[in-house]
Chain A
Amino acid sequence: MEEWIYNSSSPMRCPGCGEFLQIEVYPAFFRRTATSTEEAGTLDEGDSTCFYHASKKAVLPCEACGRFLCALCDCELNGQHLCPRCLEAGQAKGKIRNLDTSRRQWDSIALGLSVIPVATLIFWVFTIVTAPMALFIAIRYWNAPRSIFHRTKIRLVFAIVISTLEIIGWIALFYTMARLPARG
C-alpha cells in the first residue's frame, strides 16, 4: 500500500484495484501495548499486593468491592475501575449498560407471531398456536429490557390485542362448529 494513501485529504485511487480509497489512521495505531512485566510494577517490601495476584503490586482499589487490584486486573469502564469479578457480576445482572452485547426483542417477536400468520393469509390456521404464544410472550416479557434505544411498549400492546382477538376468533369458531347439528 502506497504511503500517500494514509490520512490523505481526499480519496485516493488504490494502486491494486483502482477503486477510490480513504484511510484515516489515528495515534492509537502506534500505541504500544505494555507487556505484563512493565504494567505489573515491581513489588517492594511493604507494598500492598493485588487480591488476585499476590506477587504483583496493587495500584488501585476496585470501586465496587474495594479489593486491591494490580494494573492487569484493573478493568476500566466508563471512568470506573472494577475488578474482573465485579465486571462479570455487573454484566450478568445487567447493571453495566456498556457491557450489553445483545438483547432479544420480545416485543417484535410477540408482534410477529400475532401478525405474520394472518398477514400471509394462507398460514392463518397456525394462529391457533401462534396467538397463545404471542400472548404469553407479551405478558411474560412485559417488563423485560427492550432495545438499547428508547422504545415504547406499543408493540406489546398490539401483540396482546391482536392475539386476543385471534384467540376469541378460534373460540367462536369451535363453538360454532360444536353447535352445528350432527349429521344423520
Chain B
Amino acid sequence: MGTDHLLLVRTSLGSEEYRRFYFKDIQAIIVQNTRRRAYLNIMFAVLSFLVLAVIPLNWNGGVGVIVALGILLLLFSIPIVVNTALGPCCDVQIRTAVQIEDIPSLSRISRTARVLGRIRPRIQAAQGSLTADETVERLRAFEKHALARKPSATSPLGLTGNELS
C-alpha cells in the first residue's frame, strides 16, 4: 500500500506486473463469499477416503507400504484442517471508472476484513464516505439522470424509467 494508492502485484514466472488503484479513484469494493473452502474440503476428503479404503487392502503388503499410505493420508488430511482453520473464502473486486479488477490475494474473509480495515480510512480520507441511505439516494438520482439522457442504458440498480417513481 502506497501513500495514495493500493498496489496489486501479479507474480508470474520471472516477472511481476503492477496495477495501482489510487484511493481517490476507487468507486466500489465488492466482496462476495464463495464456497471454495467447502469444495476444497470435499476434494481432499474424497482423496483421504480413497487412501483409507486402500490401506486395508494392502495390510499384508509390509510396513513400508503402510507407512507410505499413512503419509499419503496425512498429506490429504492436513489441508482439510488448514483450509477449515483459515476460514471462509471470498472473491474481491475493486471498481474504478475504467475497470473492475479481481484481487486474487484477498481470498479469505478474515484477511479481506483486515485489509479493508486498513484501506477504508485511506479511501475515506481521499474522497469521503457515504452512509447506506446517502448511497441509495445518490444512486436513484444517478439513475434518473442517466436514464433521462439515455433511456436504453443499463442502470446500476437494474431499474428502467417505468420503475423509477
Contacts and interface: CB of A to CB of B under 8 A. Distances in A.
A30 B5 contact: no
Interface in B1-41: 2, 4-5, 7, 9, 11, 14-20, 24-35
A18 to B, nearest CB: 10
Contacts of A29: 27-28, 95, 142
A25 B157 contact: no
B129 to A, nearest CB: 7
A19 B33 contact: yes
B123 to A, nearest CB: 6
A55 interface: no
A27 B130 contact: yes
A8 to B, nearest CB: 6
B84 interface: no
Interface stretch (B48-56, B61-69, B74-82, B132-140): B132-140
A109 interface: yes
A29 to B, nearest CB: 4
Interface residues of B, number: 47
B24 A98 contact: no
B28 A24 contact: yes
Interface string A39-51: 0000000000000
| B interface SS class | mixed
Contacts of B96: 28
A77 to B, nearest CB: 10
Nearest to B112: A22
Interface of A: 1, 3-4, 6-9, 11, 14, 19-31, 33, 78, 98, 100-106, 108-109, 112, 147-149
Interface of B: 2, 4-5, 7, 9, 11, 14-20, 24-35, 95-97, 116, 120, 123-124, 127-132, 134-136, 138-139, 142, 156-158
Given A1-B157, A19-B33, A24-B29, 13 more contacts: A1-B158, A3-B157, A7-B134, A7-B135, A25-B27, A26-B123, A26-B130, A27-B129, A27-B130, A31-B97, A78-B4, A105-B11, A148-B7
